[in-house]
Chains A and B, each alone.
Chain A
Amino acid sequence: MEKTAENPQEEIQADMYLKPKFKISWQVIFAVLMFFYMYLPILVLTFYSFNKSRFSAGWEGFTLDWYVKLFSDTRILVALRNSLTVAVCAVAISAVLGTLMAVGLARYRFPGKSLYQGVSYLPIIIPDIATAVATLVFLAALAIPLSLWTIVAAHIVFCLAYIALAVSTRLADLNPYLEEAALDLGATPVEAFIQVLLPQLIPGIVSGCLLSFVLSMDDFLIASFTAGSGTTTLPMEIFSRIRTGVKPDINALSVLLIVGSGGLAFLAEYLRGRGEQKRAH
């Protein structure tokens, strides 16, 4: 945000010339409409979560009943606990491995590096269904029983990719001489890594972790392939409930999840923005 334009004067001039001709009002109207499109589902869910009526689209009075109902629903709570366990474990392991991987990829050249890099970013682009199928078939081939931990293993793969991506973006903007200076001043490589490099990487690591946490909490397909019959995660529970009809307590759950992940998104963006500001000074 704080980055100045390469040539500020030019920017101002261009603005002066262009503003009157390019600030066509239909653009503003269109953009506002699109913002409305993006927030409409969220507004609707919030509206219904406080609406007394179970079915009608009209407002029939304010109620918190759906929230109360939600918190006494053990199946939802168990599913939530499972999802949180999976997300926390997968993100914690991926944070360590992903950071090491990003640093390693930035630092070393070796034969097959581009292949390694390609494979590590593959989970971001390959459809979830393909990842899910591959993991299930592999687990079945090794006769590994499905459980909460097989979901964790499957989630690590894509969390790893997102965290490594966030860290390597940050690495690319760092001053490499700081770590070298530490080494010259007698720090061991491990000390230099922990005391010099790691603190600088923290914003990247944290925003990568927040993003992969949200993605792990949101994953339906991979979890349903690797969960086995006894385990249910929150998205699996939500999916089966949506399929069986419209339930107002799901609206309440949506609002809570939206508030939670919206908060995480702001935190991630704030950390990213603060990192950029620090660099600019």
Chain B
Amino acid sequence: MAVSTRTPPPIPPNSPLKAETVSPWSAWTGPLTLLGPSGLLLLLLLVIPTLVIFQLSLVPNIKPGDLVNPSGIGNYLRVFEPLNLQVMGRSLFFATGTTILCLLLGFPVAYWIALNVSKKWRNLTLLGFVLPLWTSSLLRSYAWITILRPTGVLNSLLALVGIPPLELLNQSSAVLIGMAYSYLPYIVTILYASLEKLDRRLLEASQDLGANPVETFWKVTVPQTMPGIAAGSLLVFISSLGDFVDPELLGGASSMTAARLIYNQFLGATQNWGLGSALSMVLIFAVSIGIALLLKYGDRNAI
């Protein structure tokens, strides 16, 4: 870690502007001062901890009645037990459902803002749509409880119209409503960035050549915005896969997801750090696949 302290080479008086070489800092002091502290912090608080949970996930968990697995992958085998597999499956189901809902609800909004709102108002409209995102996620979920509970806002409104009350709270439907709500602003922002770059002349050309609006949409708009659609969907999928708050507060007792299962292994009654670490590693792995796909197919500029 010895930082060389030799004096910097003098800059010739009439040198042309050359970006990197102008800095009279020695080759190491600059990068070390700028990147060293954060690097150390990331190493200590992110990289090493992740390696520690990886190591912990390989410690075979020996309990009465458990299969002793000396290879250390016992925890991973337990992840694939039917009960745990069901929880992982539910997480996948919620994430997929949320992604589809967000795409269906978000695309028309992003399209409308990008193409039909006048330039002057576009940023403000988008900000207006994204603003609720800045409020506490717990409290937004709490509000959905107030809306969806048996005697809540929705059923009171339905009663006024004469529709029998709906049982939505503590069901998958409530989780999907809450999760779609949580991630809608993200997908709208990304789709908007993609739709704003849409070449309007191509839409025009498509119309001139006799395509109806539906054909134009599927053959011109969608292919052009595909990177944005991919980026938005994957981002929603990745984030909703590890969501804790929405399923926990809206889904009731029977909606345990991966995040809750992990939580229980560490802070809940179950207390099995080995299994919890293995579950975390599986979640990180699943998300990594998502990130890899995102980098491959997604529009990086839109993110």
Enumerate chain B residues within 8 angstroms of A141, measured Cβ to Cβ. Answer: 52
Enumerate chain A residues within 8 angstroms of B123, measured Cβ to Cβ. Answer: 1, 273
Q: List residues of B (25-39) whose CB comes within 8 Å of A's CBs.
A: 25, 30-31, 33-35, 37-39
Chain B residue at minimal CB-CB distance from A57: B156
CB–CB B111/A41 < 8 A = no
CB–CB A105/B267 < 8 A = no
B19 to chain A: closest CB distance in Å? 6
Let me know if A262 is at the binding interface, CB within 8 A: yes
Q: List residues of A (7-55) whose CB comes within 8 Å of B's CBs.
A: 10-11, 14-15, 17-19, 21-24, 27-28, 30-31, 34-35, 37-42, 44-45, 48, 55
Let me know if A62 is at the binding interface, CB within 8 A: no
CB–CB A134/B52 < 8 A = yes
CB–CB B153/A126 < 8 A = no
A251 to B115, CA, bound (A): 37
Let me know if B116 is at the binding interface, CB within 8 A: yes
Enumerate chain A residues within 8 angstroms of B283, measured Cβ to Cβ. Answer: 127, 129-130
Contact of B280 among A125, A134, A153, A156 (CB under 8 A): A134
Q: List residues of A (223-261) whose CB comes within 8 Å of B's CBs.
A: 224-225, 235, 238-239, 242-243, 246, 250-251, 253-254, 257-258, 261
Let me know if B109 is at the binding interface, CB within 8 A: yes
Let me know if A180 is at the binding interface, CB within 8 A: yes
Enumerate chain B residues within 8 angstroms of A128, measured Cβ to Cβ. Answer: 242, 244, 259
CB–CB B266/A42 < 8 A = no
CB–CB A246/B109 < 8 A = no
CB–CB B200/A45 < 8 A = no
Let me know if B175 is at the binding interface, CB within 8 A: no
**Which segment of A70-78, A198-206, A212-220 sits at the interface?**
A212-220
Chain B residue at minimal CB-CB distance from A16: B204
CB–CB A18/B204 < 8 A = yes
Chain A residue at minimal CB-CB distance from B113: A31
Let me know if A135 is at the binding interface, CB within 8 A: yes
B255 to chain A: closest CB distance in Å? 14
CB–CB A42/B143 < 8 A = yes
Contact of B116 among A22, A243, A246 (CB under 8 A): A22
Enumerate chain A residues within 8 angstroms of B49, measured Cβ to Cβ. Answer: 134-135, 137-138
Enumerate chain B residues within 8 angstroms of A110, measured Cβ to Cβ. Answer: 31
Enumerate chain B residues within 8 angstroms of A116, measured Cβ to Cβ. Answer: 35, 39, 42
Task: Tell me the dominant secondary structure on chain B's binding face.
Answer: helix
Chain B residue at minimal CB-CB distance from A177: B17
A176 to B149, CA, bound (A): 56
CB–CB A157/B135 < 8 A = no
Let me know if A61 is at the binding interface, CB within 8 A: no
Interface size on A, residues (CB 8 A): 99
Let me know if A171 is at the binding interface, CB within 8 A: no
A273 to B124, CA, bound (A): 10
Let me know if B238 is at the binding interface, CB within 8 A: yes
A180 to chain B: closest CB distance in Å? 5
Chain B residue at minimal CB-CB distance from A35: B129
A138 to B280, CA, bound (A): 14
CB–CB B147/A44 < 8 A = yes
Q: Mark B103-120, 1 if CB is under 8 A from A, else 0.
A: 001101101110110011
Contact of A30 among B11, B112, B138 (CB under 8 A): B112
Contact of B207 among A21, A164, A235 (CB under 8 A): A21
Q: Taking A100-B34, A104-B35 as contacts, is the C-beta distance between A189 and B24 under 8 angstroms?
A: yes
A224 to B267, CA, bound (A): 9
- Which residues of A does B touch, CB under 8 Å? 1, 5, 10-11, 14-15, 17-19, 21-24, 27-28, 30-31, 34-35, 37-42, 44-45, 48, 55-58, 97-98, 100-101, 103-105, 107-108, 110, 116, 119-120, 122-123, 125-131, 133-138, 141, 153-154, 156-157, 160, 164, 176-177, 180-181, 183-184, 189, 214, 217-218, 220-221, 224-225, 235, 238-239, 242-243, 246, 250-251, 253-254, 257-258, 261-262, 264-265, 269, 273
Instruction: Known A-B contacts: A15-B200, A31-B112, A235-B136. Give 12 more (CB < 8 A).
Output: A18-B207, A27-B111, A31-B108, A38-B185, A41-B144, A42-B135, A98-B38, A103-B34, A108-B31, A119-B46, A130-B280, A180-B19
19 example contacts (A-B, Cβ-Cβ < 8 A) are as follows: A14-B200, A35-B128, A38-B132, A41-B140, A41-B181, A56-B151, A97-B38, A116-B35, A126-B284, A127-B259, A130-B287, A133-B266, A138-B52, A184-B11, A238-B138, A238-B139, A257-B136, A258-B135, A262-B134
Chain A to chain B: the 10 pairs with minimum beta-carbon distance, closest first: A127-B242, A104-B34, A41-B143, A134-B49, A138-B49, A14-B200, A57-B156, A104-B35, A265-B134, A101-B38
